[in-house]
Structure 1
Amino acid sequence: MEPILTYRGRIVTVQDAAFIQQLIDRNPTDSRRRLSVKLCQAWDWRQANGAFRDMVCRGLMLALHRAGHIRLPAKKMTPNNPLARRRAPETIAIDQRPIKGKLSAIKPLLFKQVRRTDAEELFNSLLAQYHYLGYTQPVGEHLKYIVYSQDRPIACLSWSSAARHIGCRDQFIGWSQPQRTANLRFMAYNSRFLILPWVRVPHLASHILGRMNRILPSDWQAVYHHPIYYLETFVDTERFAGTCYKAANWTYLGDTTGRGKNDQTHRPNRSIKAVWGYPLDKRFRTYLTAGASA
């Protein structure tokens, strides 16, 4: 079967396009959204949590339409895109009295997963105010944590879906492209890590990372109904040395190319990032290379 498009890791053939066009022709009054749901049902195309991937399917159908492989019906409406129209986080004031001293003096620490809770607005606000990258709404699977000491927030961490392709990471794991496509969801990416600027406690960052290694897998399983076996993060080498990751026993894997995921120029266009990784299971390579031919 002749492939004509690869979209989000799914290879689409000429026969697939013909099937989609037949689906469209058989349902001439259906909207694009309804057609995408029917195609997901026909293909049994689901997320790890069992929900249909109808938004991704809609994007695939639009890509096929634009390439001339199928003919979609005219748009019936333009739905509101909450991500495109999302308001900037509101500024929430909190106690900024300095927190200093030994790590033992601020324990016990409380880790709260705050996505889809009342505390999510506080998380968004703290990152927008105090993280050098600001706040960006994660896309795909993600969880958000606030770390508290004596009811005061002292740190924020977000974990997201892993990057599609990182050369040094992929070489370290030893997987093929089909294996990466099949198993990328079993990794999580530490997309933000913030210690609030008035907190000055030695060894706090590495301690938090060590605790997260034990907390995150069960939370991810509970929310997304699949395990994770490996963690990764990128450290801007122009700003940081990655000391806390090293102290938490993460492994330096190499550097990014600085070109970004959609690069067409093959030239660096952003800062180089150091890639760090942490295995959650000693059999991580076995799990990440399973279920697809090399």
Structure 2
Amino acid sequence: MKKAVLLVFLLACPEIQALAATQQDTQETSAKVFTAGEITVSGKKTHVNEKVTSDDMEKLDKKTITQAVNLLPGVNISNAGGRNEGMIYVRGFDMRQVPLYLDGIPQYVPYDGYVDPNRFITFDLSEISVSKGYSSVLFGPNTLGGAINLLTRKPEKHFESSVKAGIVSGRDGVSSEFGSLKFGSNLGKWYIQGTLSAINTDFWPLSGSFTPSTVYENGGKRDNSQYQDVSGGIKIGYTPNETDEYTIAYNGITSSKGVPVYTGSNNPAANARFWKYRDWDKASFYYIGKTSLGG
């Protein structure tokens, strides 16, 4: 038994000596480093979650979420596809990698996974939250590039209401009318919030310097560019204490729109499509509950 212990000790001695030598070399190397010449970068952690508030959207006249998110850095917008739908890109990722949510509820079109953000009116929202890069696992799948969450309003006063209306006019006359009605009541443990918004656009004007490049568009009023959007919702909530909240809500969108013809070709043989979507409807009825399990 003593011989076995002695043999193990003798085998371990070279390893112990090597470890001691390594530690000594490391200390000597550290002592030779001119630490004053090192470059150290320090700073505060940047926020990956950025927001556009209702005040920002109202002051800058952003009527759709496509227009609103374009205020944020790293976010680009465009109209794309044969359906002439809005598209939001977050650091290069489109809306199949950066999904759209309404109060945390996914907003999809089953056909291809896209949804037209131009149909969502900002008058009903309290803020738009854009998560870049990684996002919470609570959003679910398909959030490779982040997430866009539309947050609706919650009343703060015993009774509050707001009415808004306006027109858009230019060289070719009145092109658009819009309006919204909001009301809410917070009675302590119970609250209710209702909204109704509408935008009616007959056309959008082309630049005065526009040179027609196709027989299907002669300038002035953009042909087949009309659209109508009506959005409304109601939310009833119960807050038994400071940490818990239970809400049922409904949100609906009814829209119709035209698709302007492509003006990049002057070939009469090119296929010109004067598509019109007379029914673009989406409705969400959902329940959201929050219960605190901690003390």
- The reply to whether TM is greater than 0.5 is no
Q: Report the TM-score range of the alignment, normalised by the length of the smaller protein.
A: under 0.3
Question: Using CA pairs below 8 Å that are at least 6 residues apart, which structure has the higher relative contact order?
Answer: 1
In terms of fraction of residues, the more helix-rich structure is 1
In terms of fraction of residues, the more strand-rich structure is 2
- TM-score by length of structure 1 reads 0.23
- TM-score by length of structure 2 reads 0.23
